[in-house]
Structure 1
Amino acid sequence: MTVTRRMTPPERYHFGVSVRPLLVPKHDPCGVLRDGELWIASRTPEGPATLHLTCTAGELVATGHGPGAAWIVDRADAIAGLRDDLTGFTELAASNPLVHRLARTFAGVRLPATGQIFPRLLRAILEQKVTGKEAHRAYRAICRHLGEPAPGPVDLVLPPDPAAIAATPYWTFHPFGVEQRRTQTLLRAATVAARLDECTGAAEATRRMTALPGIGPWTAAEVVRYAFGDPDAVSVGDFHIPNTVAWALAGEARGTDERMLELLEPFRGHRGRVCDLFALGGIGAPKFGPRMPIRSFARF
């Protein structure tokens, strides 16, 4: 089954930067972004699907493949960030010269919303307390091991079925570089994935996720930012973001979560968007001391 839809993006829309966060950097077995085209595989309520998005000559074209083609194409505008609501942000950004400049520079970047919790939760759990390289390496290994071929003409795999993850013993994940603590969190999340999918908004999803042992505000924010396109989601507990915010907004080289939230309060409603703008603008606090080492739990 193939379904196509044509849309008109907003002026100055930047397709590549908007959809890039949907994929794991460098290589994602479930999606690929190249030459102005996005291919991304998904498990929809109507069955497996692969979405193909292209943006040329001021037109965004969405094509869905597979049994879930109609469902994924119906959400294509949200996945591309076209439902991102910037109401009130221009006025908030004007209160700070740096935020104002970054908002103008990256005015074409939109926040995507996939409408699906578990695929992003899988990635967020794997990213807990480790380097990005470690987490992404584990993500690729798990997707290749538990994923299934996705529909469509591109060689992709579907994100792992939560039921398949829940039925997998924890020691299976050890060679993928995931220790028992994160694995047990992942197994708990997979067991209640269907209940999480019933959530209708970021607040409800955050409450349900943080009720699970091993999932805190950082993990929940990383999920709802892209599952629901929540522009106010702040990754409290992040290793770098409090320092970045403190440096960008107060010239302080180091910051705590409490100080970060205090500085972001004038931007409530778009606090996560402000953090994203700092990342897009390459804003970072001065670095001191050694970097976190890259480890391999598979060798322990």
Structure 2
Amino acid sequence: MEVVRRLRPPERYAFAVSVRPLLVPKHDPCGRLGEDGLWLAMRTPAGPASLHLARAAGELIATGHGPGAEWAADRADAIAGLRDDPGDLPTLAARHPLVARLAKTFSGVRLPATGQVFPRLLRAVLEQKVTGKEAHRSYRAVCRHFGEPAPGPAGLLLPPDPAVVAATAYWEFHPFGVEQRRTETLLRAARVADRLERCADAAEATTRMTALPGIGPWTAAETVRYAYGDPDAVSVGDFHIPNTVAWALAGEPRGTDARMLELLEPFRGHRGRVCGLLALGGIQAPKFGPRMPLRSFARF
């Protein structure tokens, strides 16, 4: 089955920058972004699907493949970030010159909303307390192990089925570089994935997720930011972001979560978006001390 939908992006819409966060860097078994556009595999309520988004003559052509093609095509504008409305961001951004400049520079960037919680939650759990390289390596291994071929010609894998993940013993994740603590958190989330997918909004999903042992504000924010397109989701507990915010907004080389939230308060409603703008602008606090080492739990 194939379903095609034509979308009209806003002026200055930055397609690649907007959708890139939906994929892990370098290689994602469940998606691809290239000259031919974005390919994304998904498990929809109607069945497996893959979605292709491509620019063409000022339009965005969305093509859904597979049993879930209609669901994917109907959701395409949200996945592309076209339902995201920055609203009063320019007014709020004017409260700080750097934020104002970045908001203008990246005014074409929109926040995607996939409408799917578990795939993003899986990635967020794997990213807990490890380096990005470690997490992404584990994510690829997990997807290759649990993934099934997705519909369409892109050769993608479907994201892992929560029911299959939930039925897996924790030690089977060790070869993927995932230790018992993160694995058990992931298994708990997989067991209630259906309930998580039925949440009405980011607030309800955050409440349900953080009620699970092993899932805190950081993991919930990393999930709802792209599952629901929540522009206010702040990753409290992040290793870098408090320092980045403190440096960018107050010239302080180090910051706590409390200080970060204090500095972001004038931008409430768009606090997560402001953090994203700082990242897009390449803003980083001064670095001190050794880097976090890379580890391999598969060898433990």
> In the alignment, is the contact (CA less than 8 A) between 1:94 and 1:100 conserved in 2?
yes
Which residue of 2 is the match for residue 130 of structure 1? 130
Residue 255 of structure 1 and its aligned partner are, at CA, apart by 0.0
Which residue of 2 is the match for residue 29 of structure 1? 29
CA distance in 2, matches of 1:55, 1:166: 38
Letter in 2 for 1:110: R
Which residue of 2 is the match for residue 79 of structure 1? 79
Residue 219 of structure 1 and its aligned partner are, at CA, apart by 0.1
Residue 86 of structure 1 and its aligned partner are, at CA, apart by 1.0
Helix, strand or coil for the counterpart of 2:20?
helix
Which residue of 1 is the match for residue 264 of structure 2? 264
Helix, strand or coil for the counterpart of 2:254?
coil
> In the alignment, is the contact (CA less than 8 A) between 1:64 and 1:72 conserved in 2?
yes
Which residue of 1 is the match for residue 200 of structure 2? 200
CA distance in 2, matches of 1:56, 1:24: 25
Letter in 2 for 1:217: P
Which residue of 2 is the match for residue 96 of structure 1? 96
Which residue of 1 is the match for residue 214 of structure 2? 214
Which residue of 2 is the match for residue 156 of structure 1? 156
CA distance in 2, matches of 1:63, 1:165: 29
Q: How many equivalent residue pairs? A: 300
Which residue of 2 is the match for residue 284 of structure 1? 284
Which residue of 2 is the match for residue 248 of structure 1? 248
Which residue of 2 is the match for residue 229 of structure 1? 229
Which residue of 2 is the match for residue 109 of structure 1? 109
Helix, strand or coil for the counterpart of 1:236?
coil
Correspondence list, 1:16-55, <5 A:
16-55=16-55
Residue 10 of structure 1 and its aligned partner are, at CA, apart by 0.3
TM-score, scaled to structure 2: 0.99
Report Cα offsets for 1:234-287 as digits up to 9, x if no partner: 000000000000000000000000000000000000000000000000000000
Residue 56 of structure 1 and its aligned partner are, at CA, apart by 2.9
Letter in 2 for 1:288: F
Which residue of 2 is the match for residue 172 of structure 1? 172
> In the alignment, is the contact (CA less than 8 A) between 1:15 and 1:36 conserved in 2?
no
Helix, strand or coil for the counterpart of 1:39?
strand
Which residue of 2 is the match for residue 68 of structure 1? 68
TM-score, scaled to structure 1: 0.99
Which residue of 2 is the match for residue 145 of structure 1? 145
Q: Which has the larger displacement, 182-191 or 54-63?
A: 54-63
Q: Which has the larger displacement, 85-94 or 202-211?
A: 85-94
> In the alignment, is the contact (CA less than 8 A) between 1:16 and 1:36 conserved in 2?
no
CA distance in 1, matches of 2:136, 2:250: 32
Letter in 2 for 1:290: P
Report Cα offsets for 1:159-206 as digits up to 9, x if no partner: 000000000111110010000000000000000000001101000000
Which residue of 2 is the match for residue 7 of structure 1? 7
Residue 58 of structure 1 and its aligned partner are, at CA, apart by 1.3
CA distance in 1, matches of 2:91, 2:298: 50
Helix, strand or coil for the counterpart of 1:286?
coil
Letter in 1 for 2:28: D
Which residue of 1 is the match for residue 239 of structure 2? 239
Shift >3 Å, 4+ stretches: none
Alignment gaps of 5+ in structure 2: none
Helix, strand or coil for the counterpart of 1:75?
helix
Letter in 1 for 2:239: F
Residue 36 of structure 1 and its aligned partner are, at CA, apart by 4.9
2:188 paired with 1:188: yes
What's the RMSD between the two structures over aligned residues?
0.5
Report Cα offsets for 1:93-135 as digits up to 9, x if no partner: 1111100000010000000000000000000000000000000
2:121 paired with 1:121: yes
Letter in 1 for 2:48: P
> In the alignment, is the contact (CA less than 8 A) between 1:29 and 1:157 conserved in 2?
yes
Report Cα offsets for 1:34-90 as digits up to 9, x if no partner: 015000000000000000000133110000000000001000000000000211111
